[in-house]
């Protein structure tokens, strides 16, 4: 068996039981009720990445079957195996056998089920009907709307929300303590801000930094995530709004060189900082519209440096109007 010391932290600190899952309280309570009754319905776990969907499914299986849970749960990633042959082959072969346990059904967990082709989903719908007596399906999806309606109607939908800042801080503090890391308050706040409720992202950033140092600052967090500190973005925006285009362009150079950021990331951070500011709503509307336009241009292949400088030029032009209001 692989020693846990060699596992990625996202696996090392994966909860082994539903009672250990942080966040998603209402969903966890419903799943615990299923475990108590030893009965399940087909389910769709939908929501953003890193919010505990896969973790909850595995914890549910552990609570139902104990240490032999892997014998009674088939886990497939639908983004890798998304064709109809997978449904007709692996899924049907697993579904045909009768479980030998105190629980009268097995579980088929389809990760990224929204990546299944429409044909594969139609075949899956029929498989769910045929083997309903001895198999329960858990479909994991970022976008439940991409799963066909006949499957949705056969499943209970559980929507996972991004973890709150307090929940994320609880988990970060727990892992830091276990790994003998020291994070100041600014570092914890930076990590929760960057991850936006994606716990997997927080843990991966923390593990990357821990390889080099044990005392971690917010600057370490931003550099590892290849994102600029909010004050650096603020400084660039303020300089542009004061009409000093060339100076704001120098700040942009520093961001690109020091943090290695791409245009989309810088645009997203500019957008966040502008939305936090106390400026007239009419100006926020204009700025949001303009940032959206530049983001679209970059995604379509326009030169990101030119688009970013065009945004700074726009800020320099409207700066006097904002100052008046």
Q: What is the DSSP letter of 90?
A: I
Could you read off the pLDDT of 187-212 as tens digits, one per residue?
A: 999 999 898 889 999 999 999 999 88
Average pLDDT over residues 220-234: 89
Listed by start position, the domains of the chain span 4-159, 165-224, 230-324
Compute CA 276 distance to the chain's CA centroid, rounded to the nearest angstrom: 23
Alpha carbon distance, N-terminus to C-terminus of the chain: 66
The residue that leads in pLDDT, 92 or 163, is 163
Tell me the percentage of the chain whose pLDDT exceeds 90.
52
Angle, CA of 40, 45 and 51, to the nearest 5°: 125
**Among 3.40.50.620, 2.30.30.700, 3.40.710.10, 1.20.272.10, what is the CATH number of 230-324?**
1.20.272.10
pLDDT confidence band for 323 (50 / 70 / 90): low
Could you read off the pLDDT of 89-147 as tens digits, one per residue?
A: 777 788 887 777 788 899 999 988 888 888 888 888 888 888 888 899 999 999 999 99
pLDDT confidence band for 87 (50 / 70 / 90): low
Cα dihedral across residues 119, 125, 129, 133: positive or negative: positive
Angle, CA of 222, 224 and 227, to the nearest 5°: 40
pLDDT surpassing 60 at residue 3: no
Provide the mean pLDDT of the chain.
88
Indicate left, alpha or beta for 27 from its phi (over 0: left) and psi (-120 to 50: alpha).
alpha
d(CA 281, CA 274): 11
Lowest mean pLDDT among 127-131, 215-219, 230-234: 127-131
Tell me the angle at which helices 263-276 and 245-259 cross, rounded to the nearest 10 degrees.
Answer: 120
The answer to whether residues 194 and 4 touch, using CB atoms and an 8 Å cutoff, is no
The answer to whether residues 147 and 113 touch, using CB atoms and an 8 Å cutoff, is yes
pTM of the model: 0.82
The answer to whether residues 141 and 44 touch, using CB atoms and an 8 Å cutoff, is yes
Helix, strand, or coil (residue 57): helix
Class of domain 4-159: alpha beta
For the domain made up of 165-224, give the CATH fold.
Answer: Helicase, Ruva Protein; domain 3 (1.10.8)
d(CA 131, CA 87): 13
Could you read off the pLDDT of 258-315 as tens digits, one per residue?
A: 777 888 889 999 999 999 888 888 889 999 999 999 999 999 999 999 999 999 999 9
Q: Give the pLDDT score at 1.
A: 38
The residue that leads in pLDDT, 76 or 216, is 216
Same topology, domains 4-159 and 165-224? Answer is no
């Amino acid at each position: 068996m692989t020693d846990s010391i060699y596992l990625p932290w996202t696996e090392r600190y994966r909860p082994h039981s539903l009672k250990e899952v942080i966040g998603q309280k209402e969903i966890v309570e419903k799943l615990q009720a299923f475990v108590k009754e030893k009965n399940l319905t087909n389910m769709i776990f939908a929501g953003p990445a890193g919010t505990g969907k896969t973790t909850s499914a595995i914890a549910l299986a552990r609570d139902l079957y104990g240490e032999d849970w892997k014998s009674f749960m088939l886990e497939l990633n639908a983004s890798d195996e998304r064709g109809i042959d997978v449904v007709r082959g692996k899924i049907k072969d697993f579904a045909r056998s009768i479980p030998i346990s105190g629980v009268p059904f097995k579980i088929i967990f389809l990760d990224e089920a929204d990546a299944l082709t429409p044909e594969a989903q139609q075949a899956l719908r029929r498989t769910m009907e045929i083997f309903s007596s001895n198999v329960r399906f858990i479909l994991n999806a970022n976008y439940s709307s991409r799963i066909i309606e006949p499957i949705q109607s056969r499943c209970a939908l559980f929507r996972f929300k991004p973890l709150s800042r307090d929940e994320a801080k609880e988990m970060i503090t727990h892992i830091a303590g276990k790994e003998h890391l020291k994070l100041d308050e600014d570092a914890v706040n930076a990590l929760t801000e960057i991850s936006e409720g994606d716990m997997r992202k927080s843990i991966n950033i923390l593990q990357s930094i821990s390889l080099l140092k044990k005392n971690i600052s917010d600057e370490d967090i931003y550099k590892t995530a290849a994102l600029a500190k909010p004050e650096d973005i603020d400084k660039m925006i303020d300089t542009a709004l004061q009409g000093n285009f060339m100076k704001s362009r120098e700040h942009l150079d520093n961001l690109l060189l020091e943090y290695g950021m791409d245009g989309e990331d810088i645009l997203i951070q500019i957008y966040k900082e502008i939305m936090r500011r106390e400026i007239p709503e009419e100006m926020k509307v204009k700025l949001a519209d303009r940032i959206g336009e530049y983001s679209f241009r970059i995604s379509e292949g326009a030169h990101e440096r030119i688009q970013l400088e065009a945004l700074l030029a726009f800020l320099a032009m409207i700066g006097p109007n904002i100052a008046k209001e």
